[in-house]
Amino acid sequence: MSASGTAAAGQVEHMLRQVTPGRYDAYEALLKALADPASGQVWMLLWHGRAGSPDAQYGNMEVDGVGYAPCVTSAQELAVSGWNRAHEVVGGLDIARALYPDRWGIWLNPHAPGGGVGIPWPDLRRIATGLDRMPAGPLRLSEPAIEIPQFYALLSQNAHRTPAVRSLRRAWVQPALGAPYLAIGLDLYDTGRQSVDAVRAMMQQSIAAVPEGLPVSTVAMSDEYDPVTMWLRANSRPFYDRDAHGAPQGGGYGYPPPHGH
């Protein structure tokens, strides 16, 4: 391996050392290193079977009710860990794509002093689908406190004229890094090309009523992995609902008291 190749291979390990509680910038750099096809390798610990065999099964651990598959960041860390079963070297992008749909994360170097670092499944999903396409977690989600009735009225009007739209919800999203923004949850009857184009046009027509400098984003209510969608389903009620004849929902700015499902 060339010297530059060695440097690339150590990138995940190098970034891992920078991560401390509250250092979200360092954690994002670690996710970038894992997502990089040149540097993002991990040594997955196999509980059963051997690499490539049909019965191969990753180890698993649970932290705060969330499942993780343990792994190490280099052959040296593998030796230090004392793991005496088989292992499998996998690209970070590949492992992210394989694990997040089953809501599994990975835990890097659990044997290390301090216990290593866990990457929960929503962050593996960000690696799998593109880090720049999704907000950096952990997200702080709440009802929007900002008063923009003209925008909601125009959006509801335009939604009523767009047959694909069943209902609309809203949330205020504060990412760990980057500016907070208003998220609109789109619940559609169908997600065919024509419907999606009509909904995009609806959003573009409505955005004119948003005050300058206020970022607005959309999420699909059909996406069962999106953390904003999950929060909207559990904590919000539609501010536009075609089944209620397009009438805005009453009570508390369109929101019921917080409740679980």
Answer yes or no: are the C-beta atoms of 43 and 73 closer than 8 Å. Answer: yes
**Residue type at position 141:** L
Domain that holds residue 22: 3-133
Residues 185 and 225 in one domain: yes
What pLDDT score was predicted for residue 50?
Answer: 87
Instruction: Please report whether residue 261 resides in a domain.
Output: no
Answer yes or no: are the C-beta atoms of 60 and 104 closer than 8 Å. Answer: yes
What pLDDT score was predicted for residue 2?
Answer: 36
Instruction: Please report whether residue 17 resides in a domain.
Output: yes
Q: Which helix (H) or strand (E) holds 11?
A: helix 11-18
Cα of 23 vs its chain's centroid, Å: 18
Token pair for 90: 């996998």
Residues 242 and 189 in one domain: yes
Which residues, other chains included, contact 139 with Cβ-Cβ below 8 Å and sequence gap of 6+?
173, 174, 175, 176, 227, 228, 231
Distance (Å, whole) CA 8 – CA 38: 6
Per-residue pLDDT of the chain (261 residues; tens, 9 = 90+): 333 344 445 889 999 999 988 889 999 999 999 999 888 899 999 998 888 888 889 999 999 999 999 999 999 999 999 999 999 999 999 999 999 999 999 999 999 998 999 999 999 999 999 998 888 888 999 999 999 999 999 999 999 999 999 999 999 999 988 899 999 999 999 889 999 999 999 999 999 999 999 999 999 999 999 999 999 999 999 999 998 854 444 333 333 434 443
pLDDT above 70 as % of the chain: 90
Q: Tell the residue number behind the tokens 């170097």, with chain if given.
A: 109
Alpha-helical (H) ranges within 189-241 are 193-207, 227-235
Residues 128 and 172 in one domain: no
Q: Is 11 exposed, middle or buried (0-12, 13-18, 19+ CB in 10 A)?
A: buried
The pLDDT tens digits for 59-117 are 999 999 999 999 999 999 999 999 999 999 999 999 999 999 999 999 999 999 989 99
62 forms beta bridges with: 67
Radius of gyration of the chain (CA): 22
What pLDDT score was predicted for residue 250?
Answer: 38
What pLDDT score was predicted for residue 170?
Answer: 97
Task: Give the domain-ending residue among 81, 110, 133.
Answer: 133
DSSP 8-state symbol, 182 = E
Residues 154 and 111 in one domain: no
Residues 106 and 186 in one domain: no
According to DSSP, the β-strands at 216-220 and 181-188 are: parallel
